Structure 1
Amino acid sequence: MSKLPNIPTSIFSVMSQLANEHGAINLSQGFPNFPEDERLLQISESIIRENIHQYTPMAGLPSLLEKIANQTLKQYDRKVITSTEILITAGATQGVFTAINTFVNQGDEVLILDPSYNSYEPSVLVAGGKSVRVSLNEDYTPNFNRIESAITSKTKMIVINNPHNPTGRIWTEQDFEALETILEKHPKILILADEVYEYITFSQPHISFNTRPKLVERTIIASSFGKSLHVTGWKVGYLIAPEKLMHEMKKVHQFLVFSVNSFSQHVISRYLDVVDFNEISKMYQRKRDLFQNLIKDSRFELMPCDGTYFQVVNYNAISNTNDVDFAKELIQKHGVASIPISVFYADQTDKHMLRFCFAKTDETLIAAAEKLCKL
């Protein structure tokens, strides 16, 4: 008997396949279509023949762990111990799966804030837990009354994605203070903080759980080099957590993947000496601004985009069709692929919203916008 009998084919696969069939411009899946940094490629070429192709230590390449610790100190003023508080994972998705399956047991409940990324609930189900889906507000900010009401004696963990996929919203200082007030009453609840878009923020700074003294000792933070350095296919991410939590997660990680791709770890370790994360954020802000400017006179309504490389739009002025069918129609009749937001909700809440990925070349964004402005 399958542990995931009701999990359908991913909407990302469905929309990308449709886009391929109809020759549509693909703004659905969240990956860049522009070239990698030339410096990254040069480092890759320069070390490919070095003796770097065997297993790294289980927790990760020591030099990469040290670079992560240095970056965490620089960015968040948090000192992490490389040997006990950082774990290199096969992408953030594996990190999320490892964290959930380490601590969630049969019958435990995990709060997931909807709309939510589609890997959280399957990880909970495989662990034998129960997902409790809590809807965000209409503007996609957290609703703390709903969150507090959803907590029971069985609540083991809360999953928080910030900056948020699919909506692009970012938590404020007031949001963190509200969460801290609630969790003071529930000292045993763990936090899984998915911060894979931490270096892609715009109008307001990203506040990391790394900076929250009241929460950091119960928080597991997932980060992604794939997202931050736009090498999604390399599948290299990492977890940061206090030693008492990390010690247990390493046990699961050891028998899930043991260690992560050695070549990618070596390249990233050297690349971190030269890359500037602020420049990455500026590059994506320029792309966001370009895409917003290109479609601002269309009949799509732009939703706030504080971070990530996703722009959510409302199409009420164009159609009353449900969002899944409208997204398919947009591919088949108008040649642009997107992701309908309802698929990120447990109850398929449909507010006539679509998600476009603007991590694309300017030429791709211009061509897509030309089509969208004709609707």
Structure 2
Amino acid sequence: MSDPLVSRMQPHAETIFATMSALALEHGAINLGQGFPDTDGPAEVLEAARDAIDAGHNQYPPTAGIPALREAIAAHQARHHSLRPDPADEVLVTSGATEAIAAAVLGLVTPGDEVVVIEPSYDSYAAVIALAGGVRRTVPLRFPDLSLDPQQLAAAFSDRTRVVVVNSPHNPTGKVFTPDELALVADLARRHDAWVLSDEVYEHLTFGVPHVPIATLPGMWERTLTVGSAGKFFSVTGWKVGWLTGPAPLVRAARAVHQYLTFTTASPLQHAVARALDLGPAPLDELRDSLRDRHDLLVDGLRDAGLEVRPSQGTYFVIADAAALGVDDAVQWCLRLPADAGVAAVPVSVFCDDPTATASLVRFAFCKQAPVLEEACRRLAVLTA
């Protein structure tokens, strides 16, 4: 007998990721399916972790995070966004952004509450909403413009809406929501007295488009929890250091759950991230500029391979439509791609409740070294040979 909770958690995405990685290994394919860099972060950040271990920071740190990191996160929000969270009770350090999302949803959502999610969506949203007993109300982004439809968004809200999840820059599409779109979300959240969970882990990885935190809009600090990630900021995704910032009552709700999810986060890595955030904009700018160049390289290669591409405005990802190649089932196409072209990618349909809306769309990751992407483009050229 199937488990109804497991079915609601959309395990299909996890299965596809594992399958694509296995196929990439089996066929010696270049794996552009999963979003992790193939180079380490800045040397001074790595050295800071080694220094913290040598300095004896190897036991349990405070549950909410070491003071130095909470202060560095608060300073980051003030420096970049003119937001000034109190490090003592408006900042929570978590074991990655995924745990921050889980702690926030489990802390805010009770069984039967509705949660508005814009999709395609990062797969952990559906899983944790199911764990909380919440009900998802989804709003689609349609390729290629990916604009947020005001009527469809408004229709997703009701008197049972508890939380709306905003992810900008957006995974998997690479979209950055416009100020008008964010204002629309904010207005609906205020009118329905809903909280906002704003996933901004890619905030420093935008390409010529400004990132606007929804918490900076009028009346929104009081009802917004914002998610950040050192893994995305500094290309150390395996460290799993994330955080939440927001008003004290919402942070307390997430902290109550965090205490029983992971209790705390690796002490030496917290010290290293605190130092990294104090380095200023240089490493962040360098990573963004490098990613923009690699994005352009991959977009050109995908177009040469016959795919319709919507250039990404941010994140590690770009999506492409393979319909021009006769593809009407991107899942099956991606399953064949490692053998046929020596490249692995992920169908966008695994991020959606309604796979028909994205049947021919494919997500590619460009957070790889330029020579790796160049070779991937050469391999993809066989699609039009």
TM-score higher than 0.5: yes
Matched, 1:344 2:351: yes
The two structures have a TM-score, normalised by structure 2, of 0.93
AA paired with 2:11? P
What secondary structure sits across from 2:324 in the alignment? coil
Judge conservation of contact 1:76–1:210 (CA < 8 Å) in 2.
Answer: no
Looking at structure 1, the residues matched to 83 and 41 of structure 2 have their Cα atoms a distance apart, in angstroms, of: 29
Judge conservation of contact 2:39–2:235 (CA < 8 Å) in 1.
Answer: no
* Deviation, structure 1 residue 290: 2.2
Looking at structure 2, the residues matched to 363 and 263 of structure 1 have their Cα atoms a distance apart, in angstroms, of: 33
Matched, 1:97 2:102: yes
* Deviation, structure 1 residue 2: 4.9
* Deviation, structure 1 residue 4: 2.9
Greater shift, 126-135 or 206-215, is seen at: 206-215
Match of 2:368 in 1: 360
Matched, 1:52 2:57: yes
* Deviation, structure 1 residue 3: 6.3
Match of 2:11 in 1: 8
| Equivalent position to 1:170, from 172, 176, 185 | 176
What secondary structure sits across from 1:204 in the alignment? coil
Judge conservation of contact 1:137–1:143 (CA < 8 Å) in 2.
Answer: no
Looking at structure 2, the residues matched to 364 and 286 of structure 1 have their Cα atoms a distance apart, in angstroms, of: 13
AA paired with 1:77? S
AA paired with 1:287? R
Judge conservation of contact 2:301–2:380 (CA < 8 Å) in 1.
Answer: no
AA paired with 2:62? P
- 1:250-306 Cα distance to aligned partner (Å, 9 max, x none): 111112211111111011112223253222221211211222234443311111310
Match of 1:318 in 2: 325
AA paired with 1:185? R
Looking at structure 2, the residues matched to 307 and 264 of structure 1 have their Cα atoms a distance apart, in angstroms, of: 26
- 1:311-352 Cα distance to aligned partner (Å, 9 max, x none): 111112212340100111111211100010111110213341
Give 5+ residue unaligned stretches, structure 2. none
Judge conservation of contact 2:347–2:363 (CA < 8 Å) in 1.
Answer: yes
Match of 1:160 in 2: 166
Match of 2:150 in 1: 144
Match of 2:381 in 1: 373
The two structures have a TM-score, normalised by structure 1, of 0.96
Looking at structure 1, the residues matched to 215 and 111 of structure 2 have their Cα atoms a distance apart, in angstroms, of: 29
Match of 2:313 in 1: 306
Mapping of residues 5-154 of structure 1, within 5 Å: 5-6=6-7, 7-8=10-11, 10=14, 11-138=16-143, 139-154=145-160
Judge conservation of contact 2:40–2:236 (CA < 8 Å) in 1.
Answer: no
Looking at structure 1, the residues matched to 233 and 82 of structure 2 have their Cα atoms a distance apart, in angstroms, of: 19
* Deviation, structure 1 residue 58: 0.9
What secondary structure sits across from 1:83 in the alignment? coil
**Percent of pairs with identical residues:** 36
Judge conservation of contact 1:226–1:236 (CA < 8 Å) in 2.
Answer: yes
Alignment RMSD (CA, Å) = 1.6
Greater shift, 81-90 or 294-303, is seen at: 294-303
| Equivalent position to 1:228, from 230, 233, 239 | 233
Greater shift, 230-239 or 310-319, is seen at: 310-319
AA paired with 1:99? A
Judge conservation of contact 1:114–1:134 (CA < 8 Å) in 2.
Answer: yes
What secondary structure sits across from 1:5 in the alignment? helix
Give 5+ residue unaligned stretches, structure 1. none
Greater shift, 139-148 or 104-113, is seen at: 139-148
| Equivalent position to 1:334, from 317, 320, 341 | 341
How many residues are paired up? 374
Looking at structure 2, the residues matched to 323 and 296 of structure 1 have their Cα atoms a distance apart, in angstroms, of: 17
AA paired with 1:5? V
Looking at structure 2, the residues matched to 180 and 44 of structure 1 have their Cα atoms a distance apart, in angstroms, of: 39
Looking at structure 2, the residues matched to 47 and 262 of structure 1 have their Cα atoms a distance apart, in angstroms, of: 8
* Deviation, structure 1 residue 70: 0.9
Judge conservation of contact 2:189–2:196 (CA < 8 Å) in 1.
Answer: no
AA paired with 2:376? A
Judge conservation of contact 1:148–1:182 (CA < 8 Å) in 2.
Answer: yes
- 1:140-174 Cα distance to aligned partner (Å, 9 max, x none): 22122111111111111111111000000001111
Looking at structure 1, the residues matched to 354 and 142 of structure 2 have their Cα atoms a distance apart, in angstroms, of: 15
Judge conservation of contact 2:338–2:344 (CA < 8 Å) in 1.
Answer: yes
* Deviation, structure 1 residue 5: 2.6
* Deviation, structure 1 residue 25: 0.4
